[in-house]
Structure 1
């Protein structure tokens, strides 16, 4: 029967799997406490991919996820994640970060720098074994890239988890957003440095110059427009910035972040922005999550991948907690406060997965390294709510405490 199916029909079968399986697992098994739906969607992608179901039922994998279907899915996934990264850029609140610059700078620097150093140390150890570094990577690119993957805080997922914990709009939630916002800027800056192509450095400098000039006109236009027009013009701006960055060799995701970072959150109604994020997560991001899971690879052997993932998880979580505790000592936080902040800031998932997808696309890491980092991201995100929730219940006064 399947031999008579056209690409559209097979694509719709793939979409049926993408939306039905994770939802049923999430709803029936009630995983929300330790595994939000986005995490279940990524895990589903891993299970449906070549390393698990593809190995057990290779004919199924070749039929459902054939090149034509994957091409269509990748197009959807690219646009979905560009919108999501743009929203993350819009929600950066640098004014609040500046207003609390000493506390924010100290915490952000330590929460980023310590896990980056720990992750870089693990990466340096991985260099001693074949199969981890990508064919087009220089040693420093691999070490810094893996180190930064351990240091990333997934701002959009952090927002979702803090909403679940009912602390997003509370003082502690706003403080954590400030810390994560500065780290988010550093992440994209480091990515741009890693991707810097000296053969195309003229293009890259030209893009950044053109972007700076265009931003002045774009911001004036957005202030003049009615809000309903800002949403549409924002998407045009997103496509333009993504194209320019990719043409220059910086990757379209760097362009997507820049597109959002130069927008002001107050241009848009906050409730509509939240709905926009929700609808993107609901309707099209599952395609990205599953396509990410499909890229996992176990050719090196599952034991080696799991050992690497475990070492990276220790570097990531331990680095964030140590960095937060050092910041707490410097800033005289109350006992237990650093632990809560550190655990929330170590949340990985989405932004880290986008980051390592780019490293894989640019062949800075191999698919085995990508798999280990993906497993680390899943585990770190699943740990967050079960660890933080009971602590918040014991220390409710921290929720309302300003610095």
Structure 2
């Protein structure tokens, strides 16, 4: 077979296997299709399929096919992170800055602290820290991975629970939006390369100047032209960030973060997010799975993932409960918000991919973080739905 035919076989597997599992086994209650696709990516990777059927794995996922899939995955994740940046609701967060600041600060700070503790334990062993990482970069990177809230997946889950456009859903979006800015800011700090600091400074200054001009241009364009120009802007920012030594995904987030969601029709923006998830993000999930590794031993990877999951969930719940006490929330409100905010999935996986690309973590650490993200997201719906049923009165509260 030629490369095109093998590539299409790979695409057939990527698109069909997760969908059939999701549909036939009705996993939506505990594992949305996105989570099933991530798990399928892990199972189709070298640690599972490659170990069980090495010849078949090497035939389908040969270097030429992987290179083609990688290009699609790069653009898919850039689009997804860009949309996440656009959907940040920082104006609303500023209007409710005391409540948003306290809640977002504690919801980020506590799991960050717990995650850093877990990372220090991992440092005591071998095979976890990347070859180009300093200890503080590894600890802070893993800690921040435990603190991440997956804003796009949170939106998806709240849509399915019919709370996204209600006051409670908008409050949770405010908290997640503030945390997202902090997360990407910390990532930029971790990725700071002092040998390329001149380039990074040049990128930041150019981004500020060109970004201001871009905003003026977008305000004057009609709706259809905005879509085309914004995609050009996305590619430019991704290139600039990667050239400077940060990462193209950091550039993609910045490209979206300085854009106003009200420049676009909300239904079209929602539709774009759904179609990116449907059409090209499955390729990213597969390419993520191809990067998993069980080199330190399967049991150790699972043990590390369990420790990271406990640190992530416990830290998030404790932080939100502390915020609830300070802000005098109703009983049970903090638990509901905390469980929604601990959703990890895509943004944490993207975050971990960047750490792996920059060799701050190893493939084994990446695998443990990936398993933690899957476990975190699978817990959300089964825990939250019964709470929502018991606490319907909270939905109308705006603060």
TM bracket, shorter-chain basis: over 0.9
1:17 CA drift (Å): 0.1
1:284 corresponds in structure 2 to 280
2:311 corresponds in structure 1 to 315
2:357 corresponds in structure 1 to 361
Q: Does 1:110 align with 2:106?
A: yes
2:372 corresponds in structure 1 to 376
1:53 CA drift (Å): 1.2
Q: Does 1:7 align with 2:3?
A: yes
Q: Does 1:33 align with 2:29?
A: yes
Once residues 358 and 120 of structure 2 are traced to their aligned partners in structure 1, the CA distance between those partners, rounded to angstroms, is 19
Q: Does 1:219 align with 2:215?
A: yes
1:334 corresponds in structure 2 to 330
Q: Does 1:243 align with 2:243?
A: no
1:351 CA drift (Å): 0.4
Once residues 254 and 177 of structure 1 are traced to their aligned partners in structure 2, the CA distance between those partners, rounded to angstroms, is 21
1:402 CA drift (Å): 1.7
Q: Does 1:58 align with 2:54?
A: yes
1:48 pairs, out of 29, 33, 44, with 44
1:249 CA drift (Å): 0.4
Which ranges in structure 1 are unaligned for 5 or more consecutive residues? Answer: none
SS of residue in 1 equivalent to 2:27: coil
1:347 corresponds in structure 2 to 343
Once residues 52 and 253 of structure 2 are traced to their aligned partners in structure 1, the CA distance between those partners, rounded to angstroms, is 39
SS of residue in 1 equivalent to 2:153: helix
SS of residue in 2 equivalent to 1:136: coil
1:256 corresponds in structure 2 to 252
1:18 corresponds in structure 2 to 14
SS of residue in 1 equivalent to 2:131: coil
Once residues 255 and 49 of structure 1 are traced to their aligned partners in structure 2, the CA distance between those partners, rounded to angstroms, is 28
Q: Does 1:200 align with 2:200?
A: no
1:198 CA drift (Å): 0.3
Q: Does 1:303 align with 2:291?
A: no
Once residues 123 and 334 of structure 2 are traced to their aligned partners in structure 1, the CA distance between those partners, rounded to angstroms, is 33
1:143 corresponds in structure 2 to 139
Once residues 25 and 263 of structure 2 are traced to their aligned partners in structure 1, the CA distance between those partners, rounded to angstroms, is 40
Paired residues, number: 399
SS of residue in 2 equivalent to 1:134: coil
Q: Does 1:179 align with 2:175?
A: yes
1:295 CA drift (Å): 1.0
1:130 CA drift (Å): 0.6
2:398 corresponds in structure 1 to 402
1:166 corresponds in structure 2 to 162
> Normalising by structure 2, what TM-score?
1.00
1:84 corresponds in structure 2 to 80
Give the root-mean-square deviation of aligned CA atoms.
0.5
Once residues 118 and 219 of structure 2 are traced to their aligned partners in structure 1, the CA distance between those partners, rounded to angstroms, is 47
SS of residue in 2 equivalent to 1:305: helix
Q: How big is each residue's C-alpha offset from its partner over 1:358-391, in whole Å with a ceiling of 9 and x where there is no partner?
A: 1011110000000000000000000000000000
Q: How big is each residue's C-alpha offset from its partner over 1:320-355, in whole Å with a ceiling of 9 and x where there is no partner?
A: 000000000000000000000000000000000000
Q: Does 1:72 align with 2:68?
A: yes
Once residues 326 and 382 of structure 1 are traced to their aligned partners in structure 2, the CA distance between those partners, rounded to angstroms, is 24
Once residues 309 and 11 of structure 1 are traced to their aligned partners in structure 2, the CA distance between those partners, rounded to angstroms, is 32
Q: How big is each residue's C-alpha offset from its partner over 1:259-285, in whole Å with a ceiling of 9 and x where there is no partner?
A: 001100000000000000011000000
1:121 corresponds in structure 2 to 117
Once residues 321 and 191 of structure 2 are traced to their aligned partners in structure 1, the CA distance between those partners, rounded to angstroms, is 32
Could you list the structure 1 runs, at least 4 aligned residues long, displaced by more than 3 angstroms after superposition.
none
SS of residue in 2 equivalent to 1:32: helix
Once residues 273 and 398 of structure 2 are traced to their aligned partners in structure 1, the CA distance between those partners, rounded to angstroms, is 27
